Amino acid sequence: MTDKLAPKETNPKGEGFIPHLAVDAVIFGFHDNQLKVLLMQYSKTGRYALPGGFIQQTENLDDAAKRVASERTGLTDIFLEQFYVFGDIARHDPAPFSAFMAANGKEPDASHWLLQRFISIGYFALVDFTKVSPTPDKIFDSCDWYDLASLPQLIQDHNAIIHKALETLRAKLDDKLIGFNLLPQHFTMSELQSLYETILDKKLIRPAFQRKMLSLGILDRLAKKFSGGAHKAPYVYRFASK
């Protein structure tokens, strides 16, 4: 939920931020046929969390989400989409944040704003894995990619947030923006199918998949990609301009 402990964040009243409201970002990347998620490990606690932050009083909600994602990835042009609001009472657990603050020399009392109940607005981000520079902040031991299939246990309901983001991603999979932001500019049909299979977690029939993709009208076919015999060279594709 919290990205870094600036003076106004450690202030017991959280001055300058909208009370009881946060953003959490599920940042997806695709690499070596694996769908990956960017996670933080808070210093001296061994606890993992999604990148997140608070909304400033003078800040638009989407701008707050973009700021959080940019600080963690080093990217400025990021595809972000709001997908759900997480507000169950059960998600309120002040223990992790007490530990984070204590590890950084702060001893908050129970009334501190960081220990109160927060509603979190979930965003998912799709990024080119090769362009990301994972960047931790001062209270993080690390900021790194983790395979979706082998995630550590996260604080609060962050595992559930990732699960909900993946559900949304699957529902929107035929939207060309999904592949456009996770694949390089030029790719083969096999690479596109691998992305679909990874997100859906199931094998797809190659001819049927190719017919479906071509019927959507979202691909431009380019020259063949020669890597051996000419008869084995696959076509290279790119997403058609909007």
CATH classification of the domain holding 228: 1.10.10.10
Q: What is the pLDDT of residue 229?
A: 55
Are 13 and 48 members of one domain?
Answer: yes
Range of the domain at 215: 183-239
Most confident of 51-55, 139-143, 219-223, 224-228: 51-55
Query: Domain check: are 122 and 216 in the same one?
Result: no
User: Would you state the pLDDT for residue 9?
Assistant: 54
How many residues belong to the chain? 242
Work out how many domains the chain is built from and give that number. Answer: 2
pLDDT above 80 for 11 = no
Residues 149 and 119 in one domain: yes
The answer to whether the beta carbons of residues 113 and 119 sit under 8 Å apart is no
pLDDT tens column, 203-238:
999 999 999 999 988 899 987 765 555 556 788 999
Residues 75 and 161 occupy one common structural domain: yes
Is 77 found in the same domain as 37?
A: yes
Q: Which residue among 143, 171, 199 closes a domain? A: 171
Which strand (E) or helix (H) includes residue 157?
none
Q: Are 210 and 100 found together in one domain? A: no
The Cα 99–Cα 96 span in angstroms is 5
Distance CA 84, CA 122 (A): 5
Q: Are 191 and 149 part of one and the same domain?
A: no
Same domain, 166 and 187: no
Answer yes or no: do 151 and 101 share one domain.
Answer: yes
In angstroms, the CA 72 to CA 64 distance is 13
CATH of the domain at 73: 3.90.79.10
User: What's the pTM?
Assistant: 0.86
The alpha-helical segments, DSSP class H, found in 39-128 are 61-73, 95-103
Judgement on whether residues 31 and 118 belong to the same structural domain of the protein:
yes
Same-domain check for residues 162 and 187: no
Query: Tens digit of pLDDT for each residue in 157-186?
Result: 999 999 999 999 999 888 777 888 898 888
Is residue 53 in some structural domain?
A: yes
Other Cβ atoms closer than 10 A to 101: 20
Is the domain of 102 the same as that of 145?
yes
Higher pLDDT pick, 43 / 209: 209
